[in-house]
């Protein structure tokens, strides 16, 4: 199935997965950009946002759990985030934490917060509509990880 065919299925979990990848890129880029702030509060949230980008990478690209040497505790924690409801909850928590960075003053970290919220919303819509989670084959879903082993 091509990327165009995946988007044509109107499955919100695929939209959520691709928005998750976009969120990961934004968390990484804007986390690094805000580290060079002179405010300790912003630096702490920048580091947290950077950590979120790596967590999202492992959530959305399941193939990496088989390739990268990670601890079994980390693998089990990531594998628990497999349903649409769990993914929505995880993205919701990440969005709230990133939005908390705006307590002192607004920074560009609000952009990853918005995209994390949109990603969580897509997963909520998929769960409410009863759509099963369908991983994008482009990102190592359905069948690609099994071919490696």
User: What are 31's two structure tokens?
Assistant: 């986390």
Number of structural domains, the chain? 1
Entry pTM: 0.83
Domain limits for position 60: 3-148
Question: Helix/strand/coil (H, E, C) string of 17-61?
Answer: HHHHHHHHHHHHHHHHHHHCCCCHHHHHHHHHHHHHHHHHHHHHC
The answer on pLDDT for 138 being more than 70 is no
Contact 9, 134 (CB under 8 A): yes
Mean pLDDT throughout 30-52?
91
pLDDT of residue 119: 94
The answer on pLDDT for 132 being more than 50 is yes
pLDDT band at residue 31 under the 50/70/90 scheme: very high
Is 45 or 147 the better-scoring residue by pLDDT?
45
């Amino acid at each position: 199935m091509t990327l165009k065919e995946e988007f044509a299925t109107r499955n919100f979990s695929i939209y959520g997965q691709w928005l998750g990848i976009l969120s990961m890129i934004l968390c990484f880029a804007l986390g690094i950009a805000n580290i060079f702030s002179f405010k300790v509060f912003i630096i702490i949230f920048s580091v947290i946002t950077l950590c979120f980008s790596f967590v999202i990478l492992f959530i959305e690209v399941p193939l990496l759990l088989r390739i990268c040497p990670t601890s079994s505790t980390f693998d089990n924690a990531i594998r628990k985030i497999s349903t649409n409801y769990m993914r929505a909850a995880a993205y919701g928590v990440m969005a709230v934490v990133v939005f908390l960075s705006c307590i002192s003053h607004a920074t560009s970290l609000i952009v990853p917060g918005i995209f994390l919220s949109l990603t969580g919303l897509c997963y909520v819509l998929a769960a409410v509509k009863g759509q099963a989670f369908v991983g994008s084959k482009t990102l190592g879903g359905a069948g690609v990880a099994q071919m490696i082993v």
